[in-house]
Chains A and B, each alone.
Chain A
Amino acid sequence: MNAAEELKQKLPAAVVSTGMQVNKPMAVIKKEELLNAARKVKEMGFDHLSVITGTDYKDHFEVVYNFFSYNNKHNLVLKVIADHDKPEVDSLTSLWKGADWLERETYDLVGIKFRGHPNLIRILLPDGWNGHPLRKDYDMNTEQFVTVGENGDDIVSPDGTNLLRRK
């Protein structure tokens, strides 16, 4: 029995289905039950949160969590499906501190909100950037003008009104 099926046995209400991500067992989790499932996963010995990936599938978002257990040398993948209109899932920062930046990055580039994150602001792009570049409907032709304000904050505008000289 692999880790995904073990999780299903322990939390039958939370797991929608189980499968494989090539060679890693994967469990699709109900959006509302993510935090519960993650807590259980940590109890099962998966102490390393390797990566969080958000993907835009046009009609829905997928958030994929890759876990690893240093003691048992096992992998486990959790997947959550979020609505396209209002993508929001629970934050795992209370369980893994490493989730902090990974969630901020996912919010920054894909635009998925993490409920309960202590500091959900952009990390790679300047504050105030318009849109989330890894969404499939992001318009690559949008111009963005970035300058640095007096106190070091980023100032972004789509039309260049923040610049001293227009280009």
Chain B
Amino acid sequence: METDELIINMGPVHPSTHGVLRFKLRMDGEIIKECTPVLGYLHRGTEKLGEMKTYLQFIPYTDRLDYMSAFPNNYAYVKAVEELAGIEVPLRAEYIRVITMELNRIVNHLVSIGSLLLDLGASTMIMWGFRERENALQLFEKLCGARMTFNYIKPGGVREDIPEGFIPQLNEFLKDMEKRIEDYEQLINSNEIFLMRMKNIGVISAEDAINYGMTGPTLRGSGVDYDLRKYEPYSIYPDLDFKACVRDECDSYARYIVRIEEMKESLHILRQVVDTIPEAKIVSNPKYGVAPMTGTPSAVSTYFPRIFTPPTGEVYSRIEAPKGELGFYIASDGTTKPYRVKIRSPSFCNLTAIPKMVQGLKIPDLIAAFGTIDVVLGDVDR
């Protein structure tokens, strides 16, 4: 019997591609011979916009890159600007930033695991994930008025101080979350169908993972002990006690477990930070140093100049975002707008490895492997 190869287009509108991504699959029967991702359906020219906006005007655009975890995006950009201009940041602001970023990491992983399980056909986890996510989003709303796109972290500090009642509510969330993660593990970790779909699927060795430029949970799932928070520390991470979560299996299951473990580590970090947050100023100014007032919101947001000019130069600064290494390259020509903004997004670089991971697997395995890469298309296409 003569057989022929078949080209299948998966996407751009497909529930398992988490947005608008198209896979061009060359199939031999049920086996994927070649997988070519086609991107760009959500390209909004963010880098070009960066050249046309002032340094502060660009911050809201960073929210919209990886809209599942906007605080780390804000922070990565602001950190690059601060490094470029040499702005010092008050300690209390750094604590608030770490609280927001770690909360956002939990939120991101809840959605990531939830949608992974949904893709595999189990709908409980996404309900549970969104239930806990709602509590976290209410915390964000209390903090800065927005639930997903915050525009909260500013050069020199944060926009507003922690409101009254935030810390008790956060403590409650932490206490609740601890039990919830146990629930998730009981529900998922030893489910036979789940294990069959995940174990030895989408295997990528440590060597390949590094060569393809994978970072974040996907790299740590391949047994590379690397976490920027730990080995190239920024903010207040050097003072905190936590570990990088690493698994050696290199498969989809390992990447899932890494995310569960990271949520626990984030809770651990948050508990330390909440206890020791210092009473101090929350914003500084490149000319005049740390603000003389503890902030009423209006005072804080007007203290940092709306238009400021960093010195000429270039900087590349990167952080450990929930999805991996998020970096901003900024070249300044000494005017009020950046000369060039380049975004190194973790989703884009992690997606590079998908063709290698799924070669020789079946389409349902592609969905499982792709789910554990955890991409957001706003971050891929920029």
Binding site for B on A (CB under 8 A): 21-24, 47-51, 53, 55-56, 64, 66, 70, 73, 77, 96-102, 105, 109, 122-126, 133-134, 152
Contacts and interface: CB of A to CB of B under 8 A. Distances in A.
Contacts of B226: 70
B271 interface: no
A97 B212 CA distance: 5
A51 B47 contact: no
A151 to B, nearest CB: 10
A102 B313 CA distance: 23
Contacts of A97: 208, 211-213, 352, 356
A22 B313 contact: yes
A125 B212 CA distance: 22
A124 B327 contact: no
Given A22-B315, A48-B213, A64-B329, 6 more contacts: A22-B84, A49-B213, A55-B339, A73-B231, A97-B211, A105-B348
Contact of B40 (A48, A55, A126): A126
B165 interface: no
Contacts of B231: 73
A76 to B, nearest CB: 11
Interface in B50-84: 51, 83-84
Contact of A50 (B43, B45, B213): B213
Interface string B329-345: 10100000001101010
The 10 closest A-B pairs by CB, nearest first: A98-B213, A51-B344, A124-B40, A53-B342, A124-B43, A55-B340, A22-B315, A53-B329, A98-B212, A101-B352
A35 B314 CA distance: 24
B349 A24 contact: no
Contacts of A98: 211-214, 349, 352
Contacts of B210: 47-48, 70
Of listed B24, B325, B342, residue having the most chain A CB within 10 A: B342
Interface string B23-55: 010000000000000011001010110010000
A50 B83 contact: no
18 contacts: A22-B313, A47-B210, A48-B210, A48-B213, A50-B316, A50-B327, A51-B327, A55-B339, A64-B314, A73-B231, A96-B211, A97-B208, A97-B211, A99-B213, A101-B352, A125-B40, A125-B43, A152-B24
B381 interface: yes
Of listed B51, B325, B329, residue having the most chain A CB within 10 A: B329
Contacts of B356: 97
B382 interface: yes
Contacts, number: 91
Of listed B208, B213, B214, B344, residue having the most chain A CB within 10 A: B213
A100 B352 contact: yes
Interface of B: 9, 24, 39-40, 43, 45, 47-48, 51, 83-84, 208, 210-214, 224, 226, 231-232, 313-318, 325, 327, 329, 331, 339-340, 342, 344, 348-349, 351-352, 356, 381-382
Given A51-B327, A98-B349, A102-B349, A21 B315 contact: yes
Contact of B381 (A122, A124, A133): A124
Contacts of A49: 213
Of listed A21, A48, A109, residue having the most chain B CB within 10 A: A48
A139 B217 CA distance: 40
Of listed B45, B232, B356, B381, residue having the most chain A CB within 10 A: B45
Contacts of B232: 73
Contacts of A123: 39-40
A140 to B, nearest CB: 8
A78 to B, nearest CB: 12
Contacts of B208: 97
Contact of A152 (B9, B224, B313, B348): B9
B224 A70 contact: yes
A133 B315 contact: no
A4 to B, nearest CB: 14
Contacts of A124: 39-40, 43, 381-382
A64 B213 CA distance: 16
Contacts of B351: 101
A77 B226 CA distance: 20
Given A51-B327, A55-B339, A21 B314 contact: yes
Given A22-B315, A96-B213, A51 B329 contact: yes
A120 B38 CA distance: 14
Contact of B47 (A101, A126, A134): A134
Nearest to B381: A124
A125 B224 CA distance: 34
B27 to A, nearest CB: 16
B316 A77 contact: yes
